[in-house]
C-alpha cells in the first residue's frame, strides 16, 4: 500500500484512527498499530510480510542475546549474526540480480539472473534493525524485551515503506509509554495533509514536466536525444523539485502520522535547497540516511581520526554506499561517487573559500551541482545519461531552446514558481511574522485550517486521476 | 556529516546557521510548543511541562495522574512524551552557538568529552569502556545535534517563549480543535461516502474500456499481490462521478501556467529522425507494374453501376441518413457482450498513447492530434518485412504498401512541427527501401484535400472521406474500377467524441465540440462473413454486416467492420477475378467500403489479432493483391513490425 492513494487516505487511515483511539491501554494501542502495520505491509507484499516477521524475530533474539551477554564474546557473535543476516537479506533481495548481471557481462558467462522482486521498504527496515542491534551492542539503547513491541518498531506503517529511517533510540521510550495531546493530533494531521499535498499536487505534476522533457523511463527516455539545452535544464530542475517534494512529502506523512499516534520521529529534510554548499546540502537532505551512514559506517571506519588520506577513502566509501543504497544500478553508484568527490573537494579547500564569498555564490554553486546530480540520479540508463549531458551543454546538435520547452515552461510556470518558493522555508517564515500580532495570529491559525481542507480536497481530486502517481521508492 | 571537519568555534558562520535555524522552525512543532507555553501560563504542574531533569524514567509518574485529569490537562502528559524524546536538548541548547558548526562528527574527533557529552552521559549511564563505545556515544551526540538542527522547534523556541505569552494565544486550543474536527470530518466523511456511495461500473466511453470490477479472491491472486492491488485499483477506478471529479482536477491543474498560444503538448516527447531521407532511389522507389494476370481490367464497370441509380442518390442518402440515426442507439444496449469484447482491444500504436498535440483550444476548431516520431531505421525494417512478403508470394501477386499519415502531418501547429518527423519523409523512406512492393503514397492526395473533413479532430483515426481519397489513389494504381463518392450512400453520426479525449487527459473542449462521423455505403451487391482469428469457423455471434449502426461513443469509428478482431470476407458482384487481402490496423477499416466496388473478393485481416499464417491464408483465399494499409505509427513501431513478420509463415 502506498500513502498517496485514496484507498489509504480514506479507508485505511480512518479505520486505523478509529481503532487506535478506541483502544485504551498502551498495549491495546500497540496491538492496533501492529495489526494495521502488518495489514499495510501485507497489502503490497503478501508473501514477504512473513519474511518481515521472521526477520524481525531474528533481530529481536540477537538483541536479547546481546543484552544478556554484555562484554562477552557471545554478544559479539550475536551482533555479527544480526549484521550478516540484515545485510544478507538486503544483498539477496536488492543486489543479487545486479551483481549476477554484471558478473555475466564481465566474464562472458551466463549465470541465471535471479528474478527477485524487491520487497517494498526493505532498505529502510534493514537499516532500522541494524541500528538497533548495533546500538544494543554499543549499549546505547535498552534491549527491547517484548517481541511484539520490537516487531511494531520494525513494521510501523508510517515509516515502513519510505522512511525516514527511524532509529530505535528515537522511539524506545514512546513505544512503551506515550500519550497524545490534542495539539499532537492537530499538528500531526496538518503535517500529514501537507505531505500529501507535496506529493500529489507538486511532486506528481513535476513528474509530468520531467516526462515532458525527457520522455518516460519505461520507454528509455525517448526525448532526451532531442530535448533542447534549456529543456534539459528545466527537466533536471523539475527532477530536483519532484524528488524533494516526493521524498519530503512522504516523510511529512510519516512524521505526521507518527505524531498522531504519539511518536516523535526526527526530521528528515530541512529545506535542502537553501544549502550554501554540497556539505550543507547533505546536512539537510535525507538526514536519517546520511546520519545513519555517518554513525554506522563512517565513524566505525575511523572517520577522520586516522589521517587525511584515510578520511578521504572513508568519505568515498560512505558516499559510494549511500549512492548504491538508492538502487542496484550504476547510475546510483555514480551519483554517490559524484557527491563524494564534491564533498572531498569542499573539505580539502573549497569550503573555506566559499565561506568568504557572499552567500549567494555558494548557493548558486551548490544548487547547480545538486541539479546536475539529480540528472545522474534520474537516468538509470547510462546511454540516456550521456545524452542528457550532451543536451545540457548543447553538444547533441540540439537547439538552446525549442517550442516544446517553451510550451512546457509557460504552461507550468506558476506551478514551478510555487514549487521553488515552497522549497525554501517561506511558510514558517510567514507564519512566524504573522503570529506576532493578535490579528495575524488568528489569521494564521484560520489559514492553517482552511489550507488543510483545501489541500486535502485538491489532492484527493488529483488522486482520482491515478495514471500519474509514481511510487519512486520501488528501488530503494 | 562526515565531511564537516570544522572546529567548534562560534563565528559569523555560526550565527548565520542559527538565524537560519530559527527560520526553519517547523510551524507544526510550533503549535505544539505554543501549547506547552499556554499550559505553563496557566501555571499548572509546571515541573512536568518543562522538564529540567534529563533523566527520563524519573518523569514517568506524570502519567499516573492521568485518569484524574480534567480535559484541560489531558494534553499535558502528551506534551511530556513529546518532550521526552529530547530531554537533554534544553541544557545542550544553552550552548548552541558553540556546537552549531560542529554538529556533524566533531565529537568523534575530540578525545575529551565536552560539556554536552557529559550531560548525555548522565542521561544514559556512562560506562567507562573501550574507545569504540565512547566514540559511538559521541557519534550519537553528533546525531542528536544534527537532529536538533532539523527539529529545533521545541528546542529553539521554548526558551524565548518564557518571556511573555500574549493573551490571545490561549485560543490555540480552540484552533487545534477546529483543525482536528475539519480534517477528521473530511477523512471520515469522504471515507464513509466512498464506502456507502454507489460505485460506478460498466463501460467507460471516454477511455474505451470497462471500469474495474471488484476482484474475486483466489489464493494465487492473493499471493501474487494482484488481489490486494486490484482492490486498491477498484477503489479509485470506480469512484462515483469519476469523470466529473477528474474534470474538476483538470480545471485546477489548468492554472499551473499560461496557455496563451493555445497549443498544448500532453504526454512525453517522441524520438524522431528529422534529416532528409536518402535519395538514392527515385521517390516511390519502384517501377513495379501491377500484374493483372491477363484478366480484363475493366470488366467491372457494369458491376459498379449495379444498383446505383445516380439520380436517386441524393434522396436515398437523406432518407437512409434518418434511418441510421434512428437505429443507432437502440441495439447498443442489446449487445452488451459485444461492447465488452471490444474493450479488450488495445488501441493504436504506442506513438498515439505517448503524446498528444492540441491546437485551437477554446474554439470549435479544437483539434487533438497524436504526435509522430519515426526512426528511419525502423521504417526500413518495415519495408524489409514487406519485401519478404513479396518474395514469398512471387510475381503473380501484387503487394502494396499504404502508410497513412496521422492528422498531425497536416494540422500540426507550425511552431511545433519542427520537433517531429516529417511524415512524408517517413513514407518516402519506406518507399525507398521497398523492393518490388508497390508504394501507394497517399500523402500528396491527402495534403491536397486537407481543407476537407478528412481527419477527426477528437479521434486518432481518419474520417472515411480521407480513406476515400486514399482508396482512389490505390485503385488507380491497382488498375481496378473505383466507385465515386456520389454513387455511394452517405450516412452520418453526430456527436462523436473520440479517443483523443481520453488521451488528452479529458480536454473538455473536445467534448464541447465533437466530431461528426460521415461514412459511405456502397450500393452494389455484396455479402460479408466474419471468421475467427484462425479463419476456421465463421463467427456467428455477430451480425454479418459491413456497417454496425450501434457503434457509438468513443467507438463510433467501429461502425465500419465493428472492430478489429475477426477476419472479414467480402464477396462482391464485381467479377474481375481480383482478390484483395488487406493487412491493416484500424486505419485500414475505413478503406474497405470503397473497395467493395473494385474487387471480387476482399479479406480484411488485422495483423495484431490474426492467428493463421499469411502464407496459408493467401493460398486458401487465392489472393491476387495484398495491401498493407495502416497508420504510419504502426509502420514505425518495432512491436507491430515484428507482429507483421510473425504472421507471415
The three-state DSSP-derived secondary structure of B312-333 is HHHHHHHHHHHHHHHHHHHHHH
Q: What pLDDT does B463 receive? A: 93
For A446, phi then psi, to 5°, come to -65, -40
From B591's Cα to the closest Cα of chain A, the distance in A is 32
Is residue A335 a contact partner of residue A326, using CB atoms and an 8 Å limit? Answer: yes
**Which pLDDT score, from 0 to 100, does residue A22 have?**
92
Residue to test with chain B: of A76, A193, A464, most B Cβ within 10 A:
A464
B-chain CB neighbours of A214 within 8 Å are 268-269
Residue B532 has pLDDT above 90, yes or no: no
Alpha carbon distance B510, B12 (integer Å): 61
* DSSP character at residue A329: S
Query: For residues B202 and B451, which has the higher predicted lDDT (pLDDT)?
Result: B451
Here the cell at position B432 is 525507398
Residue B53: count of CB within 10 angstroms of its CB:
11
For range B527-548, the mean pLDDT: 87
Say how many residues make up chain A: 476
Best interface-test mutation with B: which of A179, A338, A354, A447 has the largest number of B CBs within 10 A?
Answer: A179
Which of B176, B269, B418 is the closest to A183 by Cβ? B176
Query: What is the average pLDDT across B158-162?
Result: 49
- Looking at residue B418, what is its pLDDT? 66
Higher pLDDT, A289 or B222: A289
pLDDT of residue A13: 93
Q: What is the mean pLDDT of residues B68-90?
A: 41
- Please judge whether B187 and A17 are an interchain contact, meaning their C-beta atoms are less than 8 angstroms apart: yes
Chain B contact present for A178, CB below 8 A: yes
| Distance from the A107 Cα atom to the nearest Cα atom in chain B, whole angstroms | 31
pLDDT score recorded for residue A301: 87
Q: Over 60: is that where the pLDDT of B327 sits?
A: no
For the stretch A187-229, pLDDT in tens is: 999 999 999 999 999 998 898 888 888 877 776 777 777 788 8
Q: Which chain B residues are closer than 8 Å to A409 by Cβ?
A: 257
- Residues in chain A closer than 8 A to B256 (CB atoms): 205, 411-415
pLDDT computed for residue B104 by the predictor = 40
The parts of chain A modelled with pLDDT lower than 70 are 219, 466-476
Decide if A11 and B191 are in contact by the 8 Å CB cutoff. yes
Q: Which residue of B has its CA nearest to A256?
A: B28
Reported as a pLDDT band with limits 50, 70 and 90, residue B507 is: confident
Q: Which three cell numbers stand for residue A216?
A: 518516460
Q: What is the pTM of this model?
A: 0.68
Which SS3 state, helix, strand or coil, does residue A378 take?
Answer: helix
CA gap B94, B91 in Å, rounded: 5
Residue A154: count of CB within 10 angstroms of its CB: 25
**Counts of helices then strands in chain A (DSSP H, E):** 24, 0
Q: Which three cell numbers stand for residue A51?
A: 519474511
| Substitution target from B28, B206, B217 for chain A, most A beta carbons within 10 A | B28
Share of chain B above pLDDT 90, in %: 19
Q: Please answer whether residues B196 and B203 qualify as being in contact, where contact means their C-beta atoms are separated by less than 8 angstroms.
A: no
Identify the pLDDT of residue A189: 94
Q: What percentage of chain B reaches a pLDDT higher than 70?
A: 58
Closest CA to B464 of B454, B472, B451, B474: B454
The residue with greater pLDDT, B347 or B516, is B516
B134 has pLDDT over 50 = no
- Band (pLDDT 50/70/90 cuts) for residue B345 is very low
pLDDT (mean) for B75-95: 41
Task: Please compute the mean of the pLDDT values over residues B499-517 and round it to a whole number.
Answer: 83
Residues of A in contact with B23 (CB under 8 A): 425, 428-429, 432
The more confidently predicted of residues B155 and A112 is: A112
The mean pLDDT of B97-107, rounded to a whole number, is 40
**What pLDDT, on the 0 to 100 scale, is given for residue A388?**
87
B516-521: average pLDDT:
92
* pLDDT surpassing 60 at residue B516: yes
B353 — pLDDT class (breaks 50, 70, 90):
very low
Instruction: Please tell me the distance in Å from A178's CA to the nearest CA on chain B.
Output: 6
Look up residue B519 and give its three cell numbers.
Answer: 461514412
DSSP secondary structure string for all residues of B585-633: -HHHHTTGGGGTTT-SEEEEEETTT--S-HHHHHHHHT-SEEEEEEEHH
Task: Flag the least confident range among B234-248, B265-279, B613-627.
Answer: B265-279
pLDDT, residue B200, reads 76
Task: Name which of A179, A311, A411 is nearest B264 (Cβ-Cβ).
Answer: A411
Element (H, E) at A282: helix A278-284
CB contact under 8 A, A211 and B267: yes
Question: For position B540, what pLDDT does the model report?
Answer: 81
Q: Active-site residue numbers of A?
A: 326
SS (H, E, C) chain A: CCCCCHHHHHHHHHHHHHHHHHCCCHHHHHHHHHHHHHHHHHHHCCCHHHHHHHHHHHHHHHHHHHHHCCCCHHHHHHHHHHHHHHHHHHHHHHHHHHHHHHHHHHHCCCCCCCCCCCCCCHHHHHHHHHHHHHHHHCCCCCCCCCHHHHHHHHHCHHHHCCCCCCCHHHHCCCCCCCCCCHHHHHHHHHHHHHHHHHHHHHHHHHHHHHHHHHCCHHHCCHHHHCCCHHHHHHHHHHHHHHHHHHHHHHHHHHHHHHHHCCCCCCCCCCCHHHCCCHHHHHHHCCHHHHHHHHHHHHCCCCCCCCCHHHHHHHHHHHHHHHHHHCCCCHHHHHHHHHHHHHHHHHHHHHHHHHHHCCHHHHHHHHHHHHHHHHHHHHCCCHHHHHHHHHHHCCCCCCCCCCHHHHHHHHHCHHHHHHHHHHCCCHHHHHHHHHCCCHHHHHHHHHHHHHHHHHHHHHHHHHHHCCCCCCCHHHHC
ipTM exceeds 0.90: no
Q: What pLDDT does B272 receive?
A: 57
Does the pLDDT of residue B138 top 60, yes or no?
no
Give the model confidence (pLDDT) of B263-315 as tens digits. 556 655 555 555 555 544 444 444 556 666 544 443 333 333 333 333 333 33
Chain B residue at shortest CA distance from A339: B3
Round the average pLDDT of chain B to a whole number and report it: 68
Q: Is residue B522's pLDDT more than 80? A: yes
What's the confidence (pLDDT) of residue A227? 82
Quickly list H helices, B335-421: 336-343, 350-354, 376-393, 408-411, 414-417
Q: Cα–Cα distances in Å, from A249 out to A162, A230, A262?
A: 10, 27, 20
Report pLDDT for B415.
Answer: 67
Helix (H) or strand (E) holding B582: strand B579-584
**Per-residue model confidence (pLDDT) at position B215:** 84
Write out the three cell numbers for A77.
557473535
Inter-axis angle of helices B172-196 and A182-197, to 10 degrees?
A: 60
The pLDDT score that the predictor gives to residue B366 is 84
By the CB < 8 Å criterion, does A267 face chain B? yes
- Phi then psi dihedrals of residue A300, to 5 deg: -60, -30
What's the whole-number mean pLDDT along residues B397-406?
92
- Decide if A448 touches B, using CB distance below 8 A: yes
Contacts of B272 in chain A (CB under 8 A): 226
Amino acid at each position: 500500500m502506498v500513502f498517496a492513494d485514496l484507498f489509504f487516505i480514506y479507508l485505511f487511515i480512518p479505520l486505523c484512527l478509529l481503532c487506535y483511539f478506541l483502544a485504551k491501554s498502551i498495549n491495546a494501542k500497540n496491538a492496533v498499530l501492529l495489526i494495521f502495520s502488518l495489514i499495510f505491509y501485507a497489502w503490497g507484499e503478501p508473501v514477504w510480510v512473513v519474511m518481515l516477521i521472521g526477520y524481525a524475530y531474528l533481530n529481536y533474539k540477537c538483541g536479547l542475546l546481546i543484552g544478556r551477554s554484555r562484554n562477552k564474546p557471545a554478544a559479539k557473535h550475536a551482533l555479527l549474526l544480526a549484521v550478516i543476516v540484515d545485510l544478507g537479506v538486503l544483498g539477496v533481495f536488492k543486489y543479487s540480480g545486479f551483481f549476477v548481471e554484471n558478473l555475466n557481462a564481465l566474464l562472458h558467462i551466463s549465470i541465471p539472473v535471479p528474478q527477485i522482486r524487491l520487497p517494498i521498504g526493505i532498505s529502510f527496515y534493514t537499516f532500522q534493525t541494524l541500528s538497533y542491534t548495533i546500538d544494543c551492542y554499543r549499549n546505547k539503547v535498552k534491549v527491547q524485551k517484548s517481541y511484539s513491541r520490537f516487531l511494531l518498531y520494525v513494521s510501523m506503517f508510517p515509516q515502513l515503506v519510505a522512511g525516514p529511517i527511524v532509529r530505535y533510540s528515537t522511539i524506545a521510550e514512546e513505544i512503551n509509554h506515550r500519550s497524545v495531546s490534542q495539539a499532537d493530533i492537530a499538528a500531526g494531521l496538518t503535517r500529514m495533509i501537507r505531505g500529501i499535498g507535496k506529493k500529489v499536487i507538486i511532486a506528481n505534476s513535476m513528474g509530468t514536466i520531467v516526462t515532458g522533457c525527457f520522455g518516460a523511463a519505461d520507454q528509455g527516455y525517448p526525448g532526451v536525444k532531442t530535448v533542447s539545452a534549456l529543456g534539459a535544464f528545466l527537466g533536471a530542475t523539475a527532477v530536483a523539485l519532484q524528488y524533494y517534494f516526493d521524498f519530503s512529502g512522504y516523510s511529512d506523512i510519516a512524521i505526521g502520522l507518527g505524531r498522531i499516534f504519539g511518536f516523535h520521529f526526527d526530521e528528515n529534510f530541512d529545506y535542502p535547497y537553501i544549502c550554501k554548499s554540497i556539505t550543507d546540502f547533505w546536512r539537510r537532505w535525507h538526514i536519517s540516511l546520511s546520519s545513519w551512514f555517518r554513525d554506522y559506517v563512517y565513524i566505525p571506519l575511523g572517520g577522520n581520526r586516522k589521517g587525511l588520506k584515510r578520511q578521504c577513502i572513508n568519505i568515498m566509501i560512505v558516499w559510494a554506499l549511500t549512492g548504491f543504497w538508492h538502487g542496484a544500478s550504476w547510475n546510483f553508484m555514480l551519483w554517490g561517487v559524484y557527491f563524494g568527490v564534491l564533498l572531498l573537494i569542499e573539505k580539502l579547500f573549497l569550503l573555506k573559500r566559499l565561506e568568504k564569498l557572499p552567500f549567494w555564490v555558494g548557493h548558486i554553486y551548490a544548487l547547480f551541482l545538486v541539479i546536475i546530480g539529480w540528472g545522474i540520479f534520474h537516468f538509470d540508463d547510462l546511454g540516456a545519461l550521456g545524452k542528457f549531458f550532451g543536451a545540457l551543454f548543447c553538444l547533441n546538435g540540439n537547439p538552446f531552446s525549442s517550442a516544446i520547452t517553451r510550451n512546457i515552461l509557460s504552461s507550468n510556470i506558476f506551478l514551478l514558481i510555487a514549487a521553488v518558493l515552497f522549497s525554501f522555508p517561506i511558510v514558517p517564515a510567514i507564519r512566524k511574522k504573522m503570529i506576532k500580532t493578535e490579528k495575524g495570529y488568528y489569521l494564521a491559525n484560520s489559514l492553517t485550517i482552511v489550507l488543510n481542507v483545501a489541500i486535502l480536497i485538491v489532492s484527493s481530486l488529483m488522486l482520482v486521476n491515478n495514471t500519474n502517481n509514481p511510487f519512486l521508492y520501488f528501488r530503494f | 556529516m562526515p565531511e564537516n571537519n570544522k572546529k567548534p568555534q562560534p563565528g559569523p558562520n555560526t550565527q548565520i546557521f542559527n538565524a537560519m535555524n530559527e527560520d526553519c522552525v517547523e510551524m507544526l512543532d510550533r503549535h505544539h510548543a505554543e501549547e506547552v507555553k499556554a499550559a505553563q501560563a496557566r501555571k499548572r504542574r509546571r515541573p512536568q511541562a518543562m522538564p529540567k531533569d534529563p533523566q527520563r524514567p524519573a518523569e514517568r509518574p506524570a502519567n499516573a495522574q492521568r485518569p484524574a485529569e480534567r480535559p484541560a490537562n489531558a494534553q499535558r502528559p502528551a506534551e511530556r512524551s513529546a518532550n521526552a524524546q529530547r530531554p537533554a536538548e534544553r541544557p545542550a541548547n544553552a550552548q548552541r552557538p558553540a556546537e552549531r558548526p560542529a554538529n556533524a562528527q566533531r565529537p568523534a574527533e575530540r578525545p575529551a568529552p565536552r560539556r554536552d557529552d557529559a550531560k548525555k552521559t548522565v542521561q544514559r549511564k556512562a560506562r567507562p569502556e573501550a574507545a569504540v563505545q565512547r566514540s559511538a556515544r559521541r557519534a550519537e551526540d553528533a546525531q542528536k545535534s544534527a537532529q536538533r538542527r532539523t527539529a529545533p522547534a521545541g528546542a529553539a523556541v521554548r526558551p524565548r517563549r518564557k518571556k511573555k505569552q500574549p493573551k490571545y494565544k490561549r485560543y490555540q486550543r480552540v484552533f487545534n480543535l477546529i483543525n482536528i474536527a475539519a480534517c477528521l470530518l473530511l477523512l471520515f466523511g469522504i471515507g464513509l461516502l466512498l464506502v456507502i456511495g454507489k460505485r460506478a461500473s460498466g463501460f467507460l466511453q471516454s477511455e474505451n474500456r470497462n471500469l474495474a470490477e471488484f476482484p474475486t479472491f483466489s489464493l494465487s491472486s492473493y499471493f501474487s499481490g494482484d488481489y490486494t492491488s486490484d482492490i486498491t485499483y477498484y477503489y479509485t477506478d470506480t469512484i462515483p462521478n469519476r469523470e466529473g471529479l477528474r474534470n474538476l482536477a483538470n480545471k485546477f491543474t489548468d492554472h499551473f501556467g499560461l496557455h496563451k498560444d493555445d497549443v498544448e503538448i500532453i504526454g512525453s516527447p517522441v524520438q524522431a529522425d528529422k534529416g532528409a531521407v536518402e535519395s538514392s532511389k527515385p521517390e516511390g522507389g519502384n517501377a513495379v507494374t501491377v500484374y493483372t494476370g491477363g484478366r480484363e481490367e475493366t470488366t467491372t464497370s457494369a458491376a459498379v453501376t449495379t444498383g446505383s441509380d445516380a439520380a436517386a442518390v441524393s434522396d436515398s442518402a437523406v432518407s437512409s441518413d434518418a434511418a441510421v440515426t434512428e437505429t443507432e442507439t437502440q441495439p447498443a444496449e442489446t449487445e452488451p457482450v459485444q461492447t465488452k469484447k471490444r474493450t479488450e482491444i488495445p488501441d493504436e500504436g504506442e506513438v498515439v498513447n505517448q503524446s498528444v498535440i492540441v491546437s485551437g483550444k477554446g474554439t470549435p476548431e479544437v483539434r487533438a492530434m497524436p504526435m509522430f516520431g519515426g526512426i528511419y531505421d525502423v521504417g526500413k525494417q518495415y519495408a524489409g518485412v514487406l519485401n519478404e512478403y513479396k518474395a514469398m508470394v512471387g510475381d503473380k501477386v501484387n503487394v502494396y504498401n499504404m502508410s497513412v499519415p496521422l492528422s498531425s502531418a497536416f494540422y500540426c501547429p507550425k511552431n511545433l512541427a519542427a520537433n517531429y518527423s516529417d511524415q512524408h519523409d517517413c513514407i518516402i523512406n519506406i518507399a525507398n527501401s521497398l523492393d518490388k512492393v508497390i508504394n501507394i503514397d497517399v500523402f500528396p492526395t491527402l495534403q491536397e484535400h486537407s481543407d476537407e473533413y478528412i481527419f477527426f479532430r477528437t479521434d486518432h483515426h481518419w474520417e472515411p472521406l480521407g480513406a476515400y481519397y486514399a482508396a482512389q489513389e490505390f485503385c488507380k494504381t491497382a488498375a481496378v474500377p473505383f466507385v465515386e463518392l456520389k454513387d455511394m450512400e452517405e450516412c452520418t453520426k453526430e456527436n462523436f467524441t473520440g479517443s483523443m479525449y481520453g488521451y488528452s487527459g479529458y480536454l473538455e473542449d473536445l467534448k464541447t465540440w465533437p466530431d461528426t462521423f460521415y461514412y459511405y455505403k456502397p450500393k452494389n451487391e455484396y455479402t460479408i462473413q466474419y471468421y475467427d482469428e484462425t479463419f476456421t469457423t465463421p463467427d456467428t455471434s455477430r451480425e454479418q454486416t459491413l456497417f454496425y449502426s450501434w457503434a457509438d461513443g468513443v467507438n463510433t469509428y467501429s461502425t465500419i467492420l465493428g472492430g478489429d478482431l475477426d477476419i472479414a470476407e467480402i464477396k462482391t458482384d464485381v467479377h474481375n477475378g481480383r482478390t484483395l487481402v488487406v493487412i491493416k490496423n484500424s486505419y485500414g477499416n475505413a478503406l474497405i467500403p470503397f473497395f467493395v466496388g473494385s474487387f471480387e473478393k476482399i479479406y480484411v485481416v488485422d495483423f495484431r489479432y490474426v492467428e493463421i499464417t499469411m502464407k496459408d491464408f493467401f493460398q486458401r483465399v487465392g489472393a491476387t493483391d495484398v495491401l498493407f494499409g495502416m497508420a504510419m505509427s504502426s509502420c514505425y513501431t518495432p512491436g507491430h513490425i515484428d507482429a507483421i513478420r510473425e504472421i507471415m509463415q
